[in-house]
Structure 1
């Protein structure tokens, strides 16, 4: 039987060979995408592991001193920036020959030296020194290797110092070992840099549920290609004496041959797509190509699982032949689906709703709580789809006014499973997209930050503060006249204002109207931050302008209260912040930032208000990015499933359509039938899938975040409309095949 199955698959004519090639091609595409998804999941964890060393010096108290015999290493990490890009800056100072060395470097940089990542080296080379390199004194001693970098575009620099230079700085700590614990395995201050365990669980859960599921649908759809014609052939074999067991073996061999060929081609496709996949942005930075690796378990699961799944799918598709060959040869109508198919979908929504007010405390518990509900919803859509298709088909047939509508409605009502199978991938994509957009829009509404004026967004801020119980005080001395003159002389700089600690500030008021004092002459040069009352020489202002225009609950006045101190007295007070307004040009922003960084090397690097806004919404950006990746992948997969299903359906229906043409039905009418048979299940089930996506998003938001669903923006409607129009275009593209597939020669029984 196995030999006969191989001969039937490979040597039974042109149609069999074409069917084999189509199935193998579709399986290859699905296998390649599945392998790519698994490799991306592995790469996400591998990439995150390389953030471990950047968390050196951090624990629950903010300092980390691991036991060891190595000489202590002075360590200070900060976040610099350039044109909105984050620069990781680490200042180090060895106290002896055995001080620990971070990964990716052969040795520690000495005083006046620094190591830079390849992307940082290129940026330093291509940027004028006054805009960037002058922030890092000394010369470049070497390049940081890939082992220390999250991604190929990471901007990281390690600057060497003498121990005395870092010993007195507030943020410097002594460590005896470099941190090696991956952020994926912890939560809290010890894994601030990178994606912590909660974030990794979210990423892996979303990608697994939203991307692997549509790929499996594509593979399953491909292996069922031409199922109706194979049913007919196997029924004939049953009628001449073949046993159900023999038919099952032949069917399994045919499906396995095509699937095995597709799996082999899928591995080749994955190898070809691997460099492109490395550019995917799951975690705000692309992957190294070497990160995209497959474990032995991944390879075995795909290499063995897809052919086995194909054989099982073929066995299920031929269940009518197993029961009665006469049922196939006489074209008996399959049993209609029942309303009980909607039970898993309802169960998934109820499971998500159950955890409203009962959210588990741990990330693992949350994954166990919400992932089963999500999978039930996605699986429930697929299971309920045929029943919904049947309901829509019966409604269309009852109200049909043209022959095409009546024929399409009756055919769909007779076999709604086949009709829904063609559009199941796209319906899943719509459900996933709706849920993702619903969750992201709600988070943006709740956590998002309002827009601020352009002069505010491009302001460069240099913070010099120490937060004490009840108040905030300055830590820096008054900037020199030469520094202020250099800042004001930079082309594109509008004004410079120095904020000083207010010694008379009442506890709790320092963030609003009295935490700091400013010179009214300086404020006048940057009126976007408010002005002084007429006649006033100094004003009481916040300790910093970093939140100006960004805070939901803060409304600052356009005129600040006058202060009693003179400008001369104010300049003798410690500085809390220096604000420099710019026109947003690269030269103005980066030159001002470099001048401030060189003047105050012991304090946090200067930043722009726009960069601060970006950092405050970093989680939202990551969630948006993840949603974009899911949407970008799920829709093409759905389109491939649709194309395979429609093409296969036309091949299966060539004989009945040919008979209809012989009886006088016009080709134009048959094309309408094909279009309606695909459009009705698409539109009927898509409406339920979209409503289900919104319902699942609302339940998840209420349970996990206590947020409410928000009306989607125009981008969502554009995505949905584009997906449906693309699906209809795919269907329309197959219509010209009808003229070739419905010739008189196709009316005979085979």
Structure 2
């Protein structure tokens, strides 16, 4: 004879599994529904932050395309135009100046414009148009002809970018003059015949930002995936008891798996949709994060079709993680029903972390010389380090529990130690978020350079690089144009083997373009006093002295002004996201742990254990492993960042101290939220099993 209902339990149809999963969700009572809501909240947070990481990479890709079109791409067919790029500056902000000349009627229309610019036309970005109207003409407007039109968003990296597109005739000297290559970040390009515009990350700066975005994504996504996987195992004890009961009355392993997957996927699907809504609502705030000198277009942060990929991937991840936790139920349902302690974990888990650390130590010395390949290797090692820490975490927690039991001098410490030994995986899930954030903080505190490294750069010395034979002529023109301004014009001759000062050469005829590498040339410099306004007046006055070459300062040439600041901004953004993951994880998993153990807590309360002792034990169960694993994770992060350290100093130390303070404060705050729930579950003298 089969047990009642056994035929329906063995029914292979997915409809029966979904129906039973839905009944279990609805029939779990108020606390059962609370557990499901905790899982839904965890999935929603995970989805929203995962979309943030995906959206950031999508945004940097869009920025790379917006920058690429300005860099002339060699024509593969019949050239339709000539393109050149130079970089001017106003008020310390760069102005990208794109010079275009049509060779025939097939000239490609630039992004953000309705037609190819005619000779004399000038199209500018909205921000540059505002500055032209706002600033006095001798500081900016006189550098350009009258404005013809305003560029659309497709031509801009960000809304505040300063861009000018000027139309010329092919015979214009500007379209024949070479551009100075002194700027080390590829913000200049000599005239080149083109048949279309480049796409992708073709210059150094977008490539650097894309690499940094990938590294930041790994630092955020791996803890996020760990949190998302843990979300599927929230209220695991309650679920295991129910499923073990189903196994004991005749359900097959396949049916148990189907019910679990259906229940997890139903919850995760709703949570994923909520996460997408949360991310969409946060985009207006995210657009205000300043990277690369400006904020973001909202459309760049929306990852498009990747949203559907995330909506499908998150429920699958949660379902797989839930199934992975079913081994005990499927293999030994009676052991689960009798609440037997699972066998302890082995020290072999340490091997994964040791191998990762040793392997990284062996290759880290040469990563900085490998460029993008080195960045890929670093990303792989970061992912391996996260996974190794997550693997070794439960084993270390169990070890901490045994030491805590052996050294306990009070009931609270003893209870905490016994809980760590009894279920180290659940205890690790509570502290994993902050422990992994410790790795992020340790890694990023060495990537937090001080802006003082740029303090020695000259911002009032304008320079023009010319052939040595033209230095006197250019210097004379510069003095003439700067008449009336507090400026001192000098000439420095530069030999192929190095610079040396010398007398001015007499005027000679010759080409005005940039001399070939190794040729003798000179730098005509104008040191301007009186502040930024006079420097901008001098820039305007020197426009056109050397065709295609704006006067630049030493600060203009570094290209690191934004990058160093963005390293700091990126570090704080990643840390903020990581802390959000960690604190949310601690709060949700802590509340779930109370629900899982509500019968145990209630029985201890009935046996006479004071509620403050139970609460203290619950706190110590979190704080003791957190102190050990958090410190170890910080040291591991420092080790992995050491080959790429950009400077520790005060800002790095401050970041590290802030992590320790905020991490513990966040955990204490998240733990305090579970205190009312503990009081509630211990108030019932006869707790009803699920």
**TM-score band w.r.t. shorter chain:** 0.7 to 0.9
Q: Which residue of 1 aligns with 2:524?
A: 576
Distance 1:119 1:11, change over 3 A: farther
Distance 1:378 1:281, change over 3 A: farther
Distance 1:236 1:132, change over 3 A: same
**1:717 & 1:670 partners in 2: Cα distance?**
31
The alignment partner of 2:147 has SS state of strand
Distance 1:716 1:658, change over 3 A: same
Distance 1:592 1:745, change over 3 A: farther
1:201-260 Cα offsets, whole Å, 9 max, x none, are x23531342122122122222222211122222333334443433333222222121112
Unmatched segments (≥5 aa) in structure 2:
1-15, 180-188, 506-520
Q: Which residue of 1 aligns with 2:3?
A: none
Deviation at 1:631, TM superposition (A): 1.9
Deviation at 1:116, TM superposition (A): 0.4
**2:664 & 2:125 partners in 1: Cα distance?**
45
Q: Which residue of 1 aligns with 2:518?
A: none
Of the candidates 219, 229, 252, which is equivalent to residue 220 of structure 1?
A: 229
Q: Which residue of 1 aligns with 2:604?
A: 660
Of the candidates 167, 175, 189, which is equivalent to residue 160 of structure 1?
A: 167
Contact between 2:57 and 2:214, CA under 8 Å: does it hold in 1?
no
**2:56 & 2:204 partners in 1: Cα distance?**
20
Distance 1:83 1:395, change over 3 A: farther
Contact between 2:111 and 2:154, CA under 8 Å: does it hold in 1?
yes
The alignment partner of 2:130 has SS state of helix
The alignment partner of 1:307 has SS state of helix
**2:673 & 2:402 partners in 1: Cα distance?**
26
**1:389 & 1:484 partners in 2: Cα distance?**
72
Contact between 2:64 and 2:206, CA under 8 Å: does it hold in 1?
yes
- Asked if 1:195 corresponds to 2:206, the answer is yes
Q: TM-score, normalised by structure 1?
A: 0.78
Unmatched segments (≥5 aa) in structure 1:
58-63, 185-190, 489-495, 519-572
Q: Which residue of 2 aligns with 1:547?
A: none
The alignment partner of 1:139 has SS state of coil
Contact between 1:462 and 1:605, CA under 8 Å: does it hold in 2?
no
**2:588 & 2:245 partners in 1: Cα distance?**
26
Distance 1:621 1:472, change over 3 A: farther
Distance 1:16 1:120, change over 3 A: same
Contact between 1:77 and 1:91, CA under 8 Å: does it hold in 2?
yes
Q: 1:269-348, aligned counterparts within 5 Å?
A: 269-281=278-290, 283-294=292-303, 296=305, 298-299=306-307, 301-348=309-356
Q: Which residue of 2 aligns with 1:146?
A: 153
**1:37 & 1:240 partners in 2: Cα distance?**
45
**1:157 & 1:268 partners in 2: Cα distance?**
38
1:285-335 Cα offsets, whole Å, 9 max, x none, are 443222234464x34543333222222222233332222233223322222
Deviation at 1:487, TM superposition (A): 1.3
Contact between 1:226 and 1:651, CA under 8 Å: does it hold in 2?
yes
Q: Which residue of 2 aligns with 1:544?
A: none
**1:342 & 1:301 partners in 2: Cα distance?**
34
Distance 1:605 1:619, change over 3 A: same
**1:640 & 1:474 partners in 2: Cα distance?**
67
**2:464 & 2:63 partners in 1: Cα distance?**
34
Of the candidates 24, 42, 61, which is equivalent to residue 40 of structure 2?
A: 24
Larger mean Cα displacement after TM superposition, 412-421 or 602-611: 602-611
- Asked if 1:587 corresponds to 2:587, the answer is no
**2:192 & 2:455 partners in 1: Cα distance?**
41
**1:457 & 1:596 partners in 2: Cα distance?**
18
The alignment partner of 1:195 has SS state of helix
Contact between 2:454 and 2:561, CA under 8 Å: does it hold in 1?
no
**2:656 & 2:636 partners in 1: Cα distance?**
15
Deviation at 1:659, TM superposition (A): 2.0
How many residues matched?
648
Distance 1:393 1:29, change over 3 A: same
Larger mean Cα displacement after TM superposition, 679-688 or 152-161: 152-161
Q: Which residue of 2 aligns with 1:68?
A: 78
Q: TM-score, normalised by structure 2?
A: 0.85
Q: Which residue of 2 aligns with 1:52?
A: 68
Q: 1:597-612, aligned counterparts within 5 Å?
A: 597=543, 600=545, 602=547, 604-612=549-557
Deviation at 1:419, TM superposition (A): 0.6
CA-atom RMSD in angstroms: 3.4
**1:450 & 1:282 partners in 2: Cα distance?**
18
Q: Which residue of 2 aligns with 1:549?
A: none
Deviation at 1:390, TM superposition (A): 1.8
The alignment partner of 2:474 has SS state of coil
